[in-house]
Amino acid sequence: MKVFGVIGWKNSGKTGLVVRLVEHLTARGGYTVSTIKNSHHSADVDHKGTDSWRHRQAGAREVVLASEARVAQMHELRGEAKPTLPELLTRLGPPCDIAWSKVQARGTPPQDRSPSRRDRHRPDRTHQ
């Protein structure tokens, strides 16, 4: 599996870029692609009152929702640290050719990057 990351400022077009790349790689390239979305919010795919929500509230550590269309697995951290990218990559399945990870930039972005048009107009950024 090849792993690529997209790092950028909030509202700089990271999601649009990843969507276009995934569309291109799956439709035209024939690749199997997975993505990891990092969130700073309390992400929840479940809803209050559902059976799976009630299972989690009762203390279940893992809840798997399975339907004809998709499978979603929820792992309650319950005070544990958020998994690292390498740990999250081991949870992807079935095997894929390419994995994309998208995170918002904090502090100084890596120097081996191509500045976006938005970055070029930021007075607080320097480019090589």
In a domain, 102, yes or no: yes
Asked if residue 73 is part of any domain, the answer here is yes
Contact residues for 53 (Cβ-Cβ < 8 A; gap 6+): 46, 47
128 — pLDDT class (breaks 50, 70, 90):
very low
Residue 122 has pLDDT above 50, yes or no: no
* pLDDT score for 105: 64
Torsion of CA 33, 65, 89, 31, to 10 degrees: -10
110: containing domain: 2-120
Structural domains counted in the chain: 1
pLDDT tens-digit readout, 91-109: 888 788 999 887 766 654 4
Residue 17 has pLDDT above 90, yes or no: yes
- Asked whether the predicted pLDDT for residue 27 surpasses 90, the reply is yes
Query: Residues 75-93: what's their mean pLDDT?
Result: 90
| pLDDT for the residue 126 | 43
Residue 123 confidence (pLDDT) above 70: no
Q: How many residues does the chain have?
A: 128
Distance CA 100, CA 116 (A): 18
Question: Among 30-44, 53-67, 104-118, which is the least confidently predicted range?
Answer: 104-118
Q: Tell whether 127 is covered by a domain.
A: no
Residue 115 — very low, low, confident or very high, per pLDDT cuts 50/70/90?
very low
* CATH number of the domain to which 12 belongs: 3.40.50.300
Of 27-36, 62-71, 104-113, the poorest mean pLDDT is in 104-113
